[in-house]
Structure 1
Amino acid sequence: MNLTVKEIAEVLGGSQDSTQMITNVEFDSRKIIPNSLFVPLKGTLDGHQFAEQAKENGAVATLWSEDISKAPEGLFVFSVSDTKKAFQKLASYYRKRVAPKVVAITGSNGKTTTKDMTEAVLAQKYQTYKTQGNYNNDLGLPYTILHMPETTEVLVLEMGMDHAGDLTLLSQIGKPDAAAITLIGEAHIESLGSRSGIAKGKMEITAGLKKDGILFIPADEPLLQPLVSSLSQKIVTFGLTEGTVQAKVLKTTKESTEFAIGEQNFLIPVIGRYNVKNALVAYSFGHYFGLSDDEIATGLKNFQLTKDRTQWSKAFNGADILSDVYNANPTAMGLVLDSFAELPLPGRKIIVLADMLELGNDSRQMHMQMAQHITDAFAEVYLFGPEMNALYHSLKDKRDHIYYFAHENKKELIETIKKDIQPQDSLLLKGSNGMGLAEVITALQKK
């Protein structure tokens, strides 16, 4: 980022004439480097109290919504009424100044993987920049924009939501040329009320979509059909058996999935039919931005998956661990269970499932519904957390080798699994991030 103090002041309604260059922006004072703009935010702690530390670390300017007399001396100070809104306004300005084509991706599941695939595809032809990690909210998205290089030609933005209205704001900041909704699941159903409410929330991604833009949606989601009927933008559907863009799955292994679109074959280095649908979105973006099938195939084959999304590792004794523990909802859990069940693997398949959070009043029923995905393909089933107790009681009289552990018994869960697994086994761990299954994986990796 290269903005002068004068330029920032003009954007935020101030009047400073300095040509001092600002080359970085941070809201964490510990990450400040020389020539940074510090953005103090108000949360559990008030970021204004860390302005002096930011200055010591190299900040030359700060946003400020407190009494101006309390700002550290020696900093350029931009006085604003709300530092977060000023941060977002600055991001909108910088996005407009750099003027990349903008791709926006949302969905109840698969948006991070789809973002990674899409960036890898478009990087075959363009200078690209994407959302790092899961910086996909009202702070993470402007942070992403303000960290994109000035040479960026295509900006790939992941957009997340917790409540109605969240995506409207993000879409209006990002102003996408093209957008996609990967899936309507049950994530955040507690705040949005129903899958229908979630669908309406995801459709907010079109709030800033350019009038001549395009929206990609799953062909097998009836909740979206009435919501797109009034849009002026072009609508393209994707799916495995229906839609404008279709794929046929050819082969699945532990490390990859092969599929065809028309006469062209593709390979992605991840498992699952659901990931083929994610790849269809990346393919569609690539096609929209003028890439050839060969360029798209190269990008998909070599894309790098963000950590903890269906990631393979090894247990202490050589057993394979498939980690998918960043988030979870019933749709996502069912998809990964079905895919794991279909994999041709040498030893036993063992599953470790933890609670899916934020499901509201229907949480118990939604956990019990996972029973339909727990087949004889799984030799051992470990269930962890208070919500998984409902699934345990629905299964315990129907099958053997099913074990339940309360939330406070994580150490016992780890010890039991360690005693059970054999070197040829494969374990799938799936649950919401808040359940701490990442700690279980780390423990299983250690002797």
Structure 2
Amino acid sequence: MNLTLKEVAKAVGAVNNIRQWEELEINNVQFDTRKSTEGSLFVPLKGTNDGHDFIDNAIENGAVASFWSAPLDQAPSGFPVLQVKDTLIALQQLAKYYLEKINPKVVGITGSNGKTTTKDMTEAVLKARYRVHKTQGNFNNHIGLPITILEMPSDTEVVILEMGMNHAGEIELLSNLAQPDIAVITMIGESHIEYLGSRAGIADAKMEITAGLKETGALIFPGEEPLLVEKTAKLKPAQLATFGMSEINDLYPVNVQTGMMETSFETNVAPLTECSIPVLGTYNVSNALAALTVGLKLEITIQEAAPFLAKFNLTKNRTEWVKGIHNSMILNDAYNANPTAMNAVLDNFSELKNEGKKIAVLGDMLELGSLSKEMHESVAEHLNPQKIDEVYLYGEEMAVLFDKLLLIFPQERVHHYTKDKEQLIAELTEIIQPQDHILVKSSFGTNLLAVVTAIQSV
């Protein structure tokens, strides 16, 4: 980034006089003082703490200017501040200005599951032809998305913006800010159903990604999801492209081959071109198809994209194999969970061939509201005692699944821990043997990443 303070002031409608600092150059924007560097514009946000209280830390770390919504007489003397009514809105306004200035193609990605993996795959596909910038980590909300935009290099040709949400209206805000050329919905699951009431409510929330879709833009979505097929009727047919596992879609796979470290397939569009992805699972084939469809929309052929897709870099803690203690292997998928995602990974994990035991470590799936009991119980259908040797459950919500599994599994093979994670770790550690495969899957709030860390080989 290379903006003058005058540009920034105009973009956000700052009301105070900064004439003596107009030509000051801003090269990055930070709301965390610990990340401030020389040339930073500091954005003091109000949350649990008021960011204004940390202005001295920001200056000490190199900030050269700041947004300011507190009284001006509380601002540091002799330091340029831009007076705005709301610092968060100013951050979003500046991001929109910078996005329009750089003018890349914008790809927005949302969905109940798979959006981060799809984002990573889409980056790989688009790198076949373009200079690409994408959301890092989980910077996918009303703060993270503007920061992602403002971190974009000035020569970016395509920016990929992951859009997350908990409540209705949140993706609409992000879409209107980003104005996507291409919008992707990966799937409709049960995440956040506590707040949205039903899968139909979730579908409505995900469709908000079309709120800012350009008139010539495209919506890419799973054609086997009736809730989305119904809701896309307002868009022109030429704007729609579907992907999925069946032949009703515009892009679908043939000859899918799955393994522990790699999954391969061909497509109906390029049946002689093998595509491979360095991850487990047919559900990841669907994510790859979404990414390839984005490529097709931006004139990248399957043949051109395939070598790049084969080497995509997956964000950590998403279906990631890591070495465990005693020469075991851990499938770490402990970043998030909903029933659709948990069941899909269990189905694929169950079919893997290995010489040791298969151990499933499953934590509570959060934000399921009144449907929590039945959705946790439903996981039992995907735990086959002929294919899974041991099941370790963690959290209060998992109690109903524990009861259900006692009807299917021998009692000594199913274990439940309400709060004692240390006991879970201790008992799990005792039984792990060479060649065992251990799946760890849960919502992030259960912190089963601590279990992964404890049983990981160092």
Band of TM-score, shorter chain: over 0.9
Counterpart residue number, 2:402: 392
- Measured against aligned partners, the alpha-carbon deviations of 1:274-318 in whole angstroms (never above 9, x if no partner) come to 000000011001111111222210121010000000011111211
TM alignment of 1:119-138, pairs within 5 A: 119-138=123-142
* 2:443 paired with 1:432: yes
Counterpart residue number, 1:441: 452
Q: Aligned letter for 2:8? A: I
Q: Aligned letter for 1:258? A: S
* 2:433 paired with 1:422: yes
Deviates more, 1:286-295 or 1:182-191: 286-295
CA RMSD of aligned residues (A): 1.1
Counterpart residue number, 1:372: 381
Q: How far has the Cα of 1:446 moved from its partner?
A: 5.2
Separation in 2, partners of 1:437, 1:148 = 33
Counterpart residue number, 1:288: 297
- Measured against aligned partners, the alpha-carbon deviations of 1:55-105 in whole angstroms (never above 9, x if no partner) come to 111111100000011011232111011100110010000000000000010
Q: Figure out how many residues of one structure are paired with residues of the other and give that number.
A: 447
Change (3 A) 1:256 1:265: same
From 169, 174, 183, give the equivalent of 1:170. 174
* 2:111 paired with 1:112: no
Counterpart residue number, 1:383: 393
Deviates more, 1:344-353 or 1:12-21: 12-21
Separation in 2, partners of 1:405, 1:146 = 45
* 2:315 paired with 1:306: yes
**CA contact 1:355–1:387 (8 Å) conserved in 2:** yes
Counterpart residue number, 2:7: 7
Separation in 2, partners of 1:19, 1:265 = 53
**CA contact 1:319–1:424 (8 Å) conserved in 2:** yes
Q: Aligned letter for 1:444? A: I
Counterpart residue number, 2:368: 359
* 2:239 paired with 1:234: yes
Q: How far has the Cα of 1:249 moved from its partner?
A: 4.2
Separation in 2, partners of 1:153, 1:16 = 33
TM alignment of 1:320-359, pairs within 5 A: 320-359=329-368
Secondary structure in structure 2 of the residue aligned to 1:86: helix
TM alignment of 1:166-315, pairs within 5 A: 166-232=170-236, 234-241=239-246, 242-262=248-268, 263=271, 264-315=273-324
Deviates more, 1:13-22 or 1:171-180: 13-22
- Alignment gaps of 5+ in structure 2: none
Percent of pairs with identical residues? 50
- Measured against aligned partners, the alpha-carbon deviations of 1:376-399 in whole angstroms (never above 9, x if no partner) come to 210111111111110010111321
**CA contact 1:60–1:74 (8 Å) conserved in 2:** no
Separation in 2, partners of 1:402, 1:389 = 15
* 2:18 paired with 1:16: yes
Separation in 1, partners of 2:42, 2:130 = 31
**CA contact 1:159–1:170 (8 Å) conserved in 2:** yes
Separation in 1, partners of 2:207, 2:262 = 31
Counterpart residue number, 2:78: 74
Counterpart residue number, 2:87: 83
Deviates more, 1:70-79 or 1:160-169: 70-79
* 2:413 paired with 1:402: yes
Q: How far has the Cα of 1:244 moved from its partner?
A: 1.1
- Measured against aligned partners, the alpha-carbon deviations of 1:122-144 in whole angstroms (never above 9, x if no partner) come to 01110100000110000000000
**CA contact 1:389–1:404 (8 Å) conserved in 2:** no
- Alignment gaps of 5+ in structure 1: none
Separation in 2, partners of 1:446, 1:415 = 15
Q: Aligned letter for 1:5? A: L
**CA contact 1:249–1:257 (8 Å) conserved in 2:** no
Q: Aligned letter for 2:405? A: L
Secondary structure in structure 2 of the residue aligned to 1:394: helix
**CA contact 1:181–1:218 (8 Å) conserved in 2:** yes
Secondary structure in structure 2 of the residue aligned to 1:149: coil
**CA contact 1:130–1:155 (8 Å) conserved in 2:** yes
- Measured against aligned partners, the alpha-carbon deviations of 1:340-383 in whole angstroms (never above 9, x if no partner) come to 11222232211011100010011011000001100121011111
Separation in 1, partners of 2:84, 2:405 = 57
- Measured against aligned partners, the alpha-carbon deviations of 1:389-434 in whole angstroms (never above 9, x if no partner) come to 1001011132124333333211111111111111111010100011
Q: How far has the Cα of 1:250 moved from its partner?
A: 2.7
Q: How far has the Cα of 1:24 moved from its partner?
A: 0.7
Separation in 2, partners of 1:279, 1:179 = 15
TM-score normalised to structure 1 length: 0.98
Counterpart residue number, 1:411: 422
* 2:66 paired with 1:58: no
Separation in 2, partners of 1:445, 1:106 = 31
Q: Aligned letter for 1:251? A: Q
Separation in 2, partners of 1:295, 1:16 = 50
Secondary structure in structure 1 of the residue aligned to 2:221: strand
Separation in 1, partners of 2:341, 2:408 = 24
Q: Aligned letter for 2:122? A: T
Separation in 1, partners of 2:422, 2:276 = 39
**CA contact 2:394–2:419 (8 Å) conserved in 1:** no
Separation in 2, partners of 1:192, 1:433 = 20
Counterpart residue number, 2:39: 35
Q: Aligned letter for 1:231? A: L
**CA contact 2:323–2:457 (8 Å) conserved in 1:** no
